[in-house]
C-alpha cells in the first residue's frame, strides 16, 4: 500500500534506526519532504542519503542530530524544521529507548532518561 505524500512535510524522530528509519524510507518513496532527527550522526546521514535516492522528487533531506531527552535539542529540532520548510504536516514520534531491569536494580538516572525520551519529549515536541 502506498500514499501520495508529494509536497507533505514530515518530521520523523528516531530516524537513525529501526521503525524511524523504515518510516523515513517509506515516506521518501512516496514523495514526502523530510526532516529526520536522531542521536547517531553517521546513521542519520546514511538514512538521509537513502531517502534522497529513492524520493521520486529527489528532495533534499534535513537531518538534525541531537539527544531528544534534552529540551534544547527537541526545540532546535522543531525550529530547524520550521525554518527550513515553513510548514509541518506530519510528525512521527519514533525516538525511544529501552533499559531492562527491575525497580530495585534500575538507577534513578536511567529511569529519568527513559522517561525523558519515551514520555517527556513526546509531550514537549507536540
Each domain of the chain, given as residue ranges in start order, spans 9-123
The number of CA neighbours under 13 Å toward the Cβ of 77 is 33
Across the beta sheet with 9-13, the strand order is 62-65, 33-38, 9-13, 90-92
**DSSP E strand stretches across 4-106:** 9-13, 33-38, 62-65, 90-92
pLDDT band at 53, cuts 50/70/90?
Answer: very high
What pLDDT was estimated at residue 7? 92
What pLDDT was estimated at residue 33? 98
pLDDT band at 61, cuts 50/70/90?
Answer: very high
Query: What share of the chain has pLDDT > 90, as a percent?
Result: 71
- Count CB neighbours of 105 within 10 A: 8
Domain 9-123: CATH class, spelled out: alpha beta
Cα dihedral 69, 75, 76, 81 sign: positive
Reported as a single tens digit per residue, the pLDDT across 72-123 is 999 999 999 999 999 999 999 998 888 888 989 989 999 888 888 888 888 8
How many helices (DSSP H) and strands (DSSP E) are in the chain?
5, 4
Query: What average pLDDT does the segment 45-52 reach?
Result: 98
What pLDDT was estimated at residue 64? 98
**pTM of the predicted model, to two decimals?**
0.90
Amino acid at each position: 500500500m502506498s500514499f501520495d505524500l508529494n509536497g507533505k512535510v514530515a518530521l520523523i524522530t528516531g530516524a537513525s534506526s529501526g521503525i524511524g528509519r523504515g518510516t523515513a524510507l517509506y515516506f521518501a518513496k512516496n514523495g514526502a519532504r523530510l526532516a529526520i532527527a536522531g542521536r547517531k550522526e553517521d546513521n542519520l546521514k546514511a538514512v538521509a542519503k537513502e531517502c534522497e535516492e529513492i524520493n521520486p522528487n529527489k528532495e533534499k533531506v534535513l537531518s538534525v542530530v541531537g539527544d531528544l531527552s534534552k529540551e534544547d535539542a527537541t526545540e532546535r529540532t522543531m525550529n530547524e524544521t520550521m525554518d527550513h520548510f515553513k510548514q509541518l504536516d506530519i510528525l512521527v514520534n519514533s525516538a525511544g529507548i529501552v533499559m531492562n531491569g527491575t525497580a530495585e536494580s534500575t538507577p534513578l538516572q536511567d529511569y529519568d532518561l527513559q522517561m525523558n525520551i519515551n514520555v517527556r519529549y513526546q509531550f514537549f515536541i507536540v
